[in-house]
Amino acid sequence: MAHALQFYIDGSWVDPVVPNVLDVIDPSYEDAFAQISLGTKADVDKAVAAAKRAFATFGYTSPAERLEILQRVVDIYKKRSRDLALAVSREMGAPRQFALDSQVGIGLAHLLKIVEVLRTFQFRKVKGTSLVVKEPIGVVGLITPWNWPLNQITCKVGPALAAGCTMVLKPSEIAPLDAVIFAEILDEAGVPKGVFNLVNGDGPTVGQALASHPDIDMMSFTGSTRAGILVAKSAADTVKRVSQELGGKSANILLPDVDFAVAVPKGVEGCFGNGGQSCNAPTRMFVPRDRHDEAAGYAKVAAEKFVVGAADASGTNLGPVVSQIQYDKIQGLIESGIAEGATLVTGGPGRPAGLNRGYYVRPTVFADVTPQMRIAREEIFGPVLSILPYDSLEQAIEQANDTPYGLASYIQGQDLDKVRAVASRMRSGNVYINYPAWDAGIPFGGYKQSGNGREYAEYGLDDFLEIKGILGYEAA
């Protein structure tokens, strides 16, 4: 990849101020297949200065001008989709077809949605004799994760461009190559120089420099709750806006009237999708106590249907997890589930048979899980499902909400009135009833320690806008 060792600053590919390279590891084989440069505060300062200069003009462009840019980005993104998919597949282990259909596909969906939103978005509204205006917040810092890299890049960059903001992106150093290709896409689309800047690096160096920079007006961060807290603390001294999408430990409540033969396997699929590496994965399945063993049986069959293997292997639908650190964390939590007395239904510690190299986790289901076990409280971020029995629906709701997180909840049942009533009591930013299709037009974000602010569509656009009231605008 021609630009992997460079940063995109002020409309050009440039070398880092201080050379420092990092291997990019293919988790299917544990081999380095590329290198990137790690940036420093000096690189961030250059990128922020470019963005600040660009905002003086780009911040005052018309929505029509920004719409033209976004439409060009969409066209070139489509053209580069297979390049993006290959990069994502190799850097974070997504099976090839899943990388193209889901990882790259979700990014395209966000770009198409923000184009649709921008066509009709109202930036100005007369209210009596006053005018209320929505204006770009300014220069924004964007930090994105490795698990759904293009999802988070597009649902930040798209609305930021639509708003008229300029920006500096720091993608995850674990999965950075798709972001390099994305920068090439924006360059080819003719995004004005300085509007979009890319600096690779780690959180303690580049992330910290962005969050604390006095010329950054807003930080948009997706990642762990631990890292989100550090970003917010670094941003506090300059009173910049901070929008965060953080961790999750989502509950999936199966009501007694649901068809378990359908609902349980779908719950397993939702939990194990993307290798279990989704912040909104339904990892805690609550089932009536008298149907607990039935649920465990269905979950076992569903889990054992997953084909674990290399991202480039035919038939693989569960690739490796992203890194040795992530693998070790998951193994420790699986061991804790066994030690704390949960029933191991299938899976367990170690790699699947025949896979001796690569960060592969056995698809694992625990039953008889109690709410205070680590596997019921900590975000595992791997293909591990916990089944918790409940004695009453009231108890299920209480235990589902008994978590520091609040990103998503899932409710399954045939009585729609009852399901809706349960949904209204879930303390989470999203509730999914009976496994609906994903929707790029619905706000995404969390309650409690799952973050603040909202992404997607007009809700994401609003996050990048300031509101100005101009009194006396109209003659009395």
For the stretch 338-355, pLDDT in tens is: 999 999 999 999 999 999
SS3 call for 441 = coil
Whole-model pTM above 0.85? yes
Beta strands in 273-367, from DSSP E residues, in sequence order: 284-288, 343-346, 364-367
Residue 367 near residue 292, CB atoms below 8 Å: yes
Name the band, by pLDDT with cuts 50, 70 and 90, for residue 12.
very high
pLDDT score recorded for residue 7: 98
Q: What is the Cα–Cα distance from 33 to 91, expressed in whole angstroms?
A: 9
Q: What is the Cα–Cα distance from 11 to 434, expressed in whole angstroms?
A: 46
Q: Would the pLDDT of 83 be above 90?
A: yes
Q: What is the Cα–Cα distance from 332 to 169, expressed in whole angstroms?
A: 33
Q: Which residue has the tokens 């009194």?
A: 471
CA angle 81, 465, 161 (to 5 degrees): 25
pLDDT score recorded for residue 1: 72
Any idea which fold 251-440 has? Aldehyde Dehydrogenase; Chain A, domain 2 (3.40.309)
How many C-beta neighbours within 10 Å does residue 398 have?
Answer: 13
- For residue 298 the two structure tokens come to 């269905």
Q: Would the pLDDT of 360 be above 90?
A: yes
- For residue 12 the two structure tokens come to 């050009």
Q: Which CATH superfamily is domain 7-246+450-470 in?
A: Aldehyde Dehydrogenase; Chain A, domain 1 (3.40.605.10)
Name the band, by pLDDT with cuts 50, 70 and 90, for residue 91.
very high
Residue of 1 and 181 predicted with greater confidence: 181
How many C-beta neighbours within 10 Å does residue 92 have?
Answer: 32
Model confidence pLDDT, tens digit, residues 231-250: 999 999 999 999 999 999 99
Name the band, by pLDDT with cuts 50, 70 and 90, for residue 150.
very high
DSSP 38: P
Of the candidates 211, 183, 158, the residue with the CA atom closest to the CA atom of residue 459: 158
Domain residue limits, the chain: 7-246+450-470, 251-440
Q: Would the pLDDT of 188 be above 80?
A: yes
Residue 465 near residue 165, CB atoms below 8 Å: no
Q: What is the mean pLDDT of the chain?
A: 98
Q: What values do phi and psi take at 462, rounded to 5?
A: -55, -35
What percent of the chain lies above the pLDDT cut of 90? 99
Model confidence pLDDT, tens digit, residues 35-53: 999 999 999 999 999 999 9
Residue 155 annotated as catalytic: no
Q: What is the Cα–Cα distance from 40 to 209, expressed in whole angstroms?
A: 8
What percent of the chain lies above the pLDDT cut of 70? 100
Q: Which residue has the tokens 């890049």?
A: 153
pLDDT score recorded for residue 126: 97
pLDDT score recorded for residue 79: 98
pLDDT score recorded for residue 191: 98
pLDDT score recorded for residue 205: 98
pLDDT score recorded for residue 475: 82
How many C-beta neighbours within 10 Å does residue 466 have?
Answer: 14
Residue 343 near residue 296, CB atoms below 8 Å: yes
Of the candidates 456, 458, 450, 412, the residue with the CA atom closest to the CA atom of residue 431: 412
Catalytic residue selected from 91, 184, 245, 379: 245
Residue 271 annotated as catalytic: no
| C-alpha distance from residue 249 to each of 289, 438, 446 (Å) | 21, 19, 11
| Burial class for 239, CB neighbours closer than 10 Å (0-12, 13-18, 19+) | exposed
* Mean pLDDT, residues 285-297 taken together: 98
* Mean pLDDT, residues 440-455 taken together: 97
Residue 267 near residue 255, CB atoms below 8 Å: no
Model confidence pLDDT, tens digit, residues 388-423: 999 999 999 999 999 999 999 999 999 999 999 999
